[in-house]
Structure 1
Amino acid sequence: MGTGSTIRLTRRGRVALIAIGAVVAGTAVAVPLLTSDGEEDTRPESLAIPEGRRAAQIYQAVDEALALPAGTTGKALGKARLKLPVDAEGNPEGYLFPATYPLKDATPEKLLTAMVDTANRRFNGAPVAAGAERNAMNVYQAVTIASIVQSEAATEPDMGKVARVVFNRLERGMPLQMDSTLNYALNRSTLDTTVKDTKIDSPYNSYRRMGLPPTPIANPGEAAMRAAISPTPGDWLYFVTVKPGDTRFTADHREHRRNVAESDKYRRAAPDASATAQAKR
């Protein structure tokens, strides 16, 4: 929490596995090859995109995997002709599906197309489409909620509860107040949101803006999508991770204040242990 005098209503349940600006959006399987001078050349055979990575991180990972100049994949968006929903307005955030993609004969356009096509197959089928309709939203809105869930929840069981907090707040006309949306706006990953952060002028500032952010804030996996269309029943409006493995959900603001105070006490006592434990997810 940013200051002692302000109680934030929610807090990200985990630390992202990235340092700001670092490229860790994918992992590759190296394949030994022989170069023309007889030396061994190790090149990646595939690229694995983990759940929760942002589009910008994925572009960087593709550039690195294909040994391309930085920024090449981002510039390839226009040529890729991706089959995105109208609401996306050409922005593939949320639709670069987390999976492992082969790199043989790959180009940025081919990889981006494969990711979006995979997302469309997973998202536009009966379970997700019907689940979105059941909750009075379209698939793009469900993906947006799933991206918040993916970014906020520490564990899969917590995903359904985080989704329920989102729904409960939307239904009550409350701002979402999710730190993950601020982190997206500021292109960072941190648990230390300040009062100043909550006042930034951005459509992704869910402390000041009502409703969902204009786009997804990450690329969610199947577990987060399931949570978004079938949230766990409950009346929760607040949650905070007190320590790794202990995220507390409540509908009572005073109880939440006590939980936040306990979380702050734990982080002051063992900040390095807390961050390390969460970063190992």
Structure 2
Amino acid sequence: MRLLVFGETGQVATELRRQGGSDVTALGRGKVDLSDPAACAAAIAVSDAQAVINAAAYTAVDRAETEEALATKINGAAPGAMARACADRELPFLHVSTDYVFPGTGEAPWRPEDPVAPLNAYGRSKLAGEEEVRAAGGPHVILRTSWVFSAHGANFVKTMLRLAASHNSLSVVDDQIGGPTPAADIAEALLVMAHTMAKGQKGGTYHFAGYPWVSWKCFARETFARAARDVAIRGIPSLDYPTPAARPLNSRLDCAKIEQDFGIAIPDWKSGLLAVLRELNT
């Protein structure tokens, strides 16, 4: 199955290229500028792809507070243009979104149909993308995920390992709870969904995130334990680690729908962590 993927060096895009092989045509920044929605649509119009996946995004959460217009163009207008171009050709369009569209209140896992209320500019920009994709009216999947990690790109696991080289103790936030998600598992899920949709399966909005749910502190401890790093971890509240953009305290995602409709099981992030650490040779 021929796939056109927006994104080339990001975590999910890299895994899509690995798993999809020669069937994947990846468009990085040097080929298509996501701040130019018309260029995104044009790339789809001339492609021979049988499905399109948007794995690219503006992901600088804190910087988005001062660059919301740019973030919204990349995360909102560009996916909208892609979705409309796909709708014109009746191509399945799969778009990666985020738990940040939710307010992060309570402790219950968020369901795909739950009300959204982003806490920050990044979340608002991603919600704008979701709304535009749905409005395009074509066959589509919006895949919300959380706490993505891999052996490449910037992510929490690699940050912790870097800090471990110069620190014997760290303070890590302990009141934000979510599901770490291996990028490899996200890519695999997207490929399964793309192939299934090409056969006529309907899409919609889905959640896909790792389990069991943990805090950032516990995620850090597991990382250091598996990597044999002797680093003491002290849990702190989010208020003790202020950031320009507010973070949701509850990032738990209910993933029952994706298993019901596509047979895709919730990933065990601890197994994914071991695979990433092996790749990093730790």
TM-score band, normalised by the shorter chain? under 0.3
The structure, 1 or 2, with the larger RCO (C-alpha pairs under 8 Å, 6+ apart) is 1
Q: Based on CA coordinates, which of the two structures has the bigger radius of gyration?
A: 1
Query: Relative to total residues, which structure has the larger strand share, 1 or 2?
Result: 2
Query: So what's the TM-score if we normalise by structure 1?
Result: 0.26
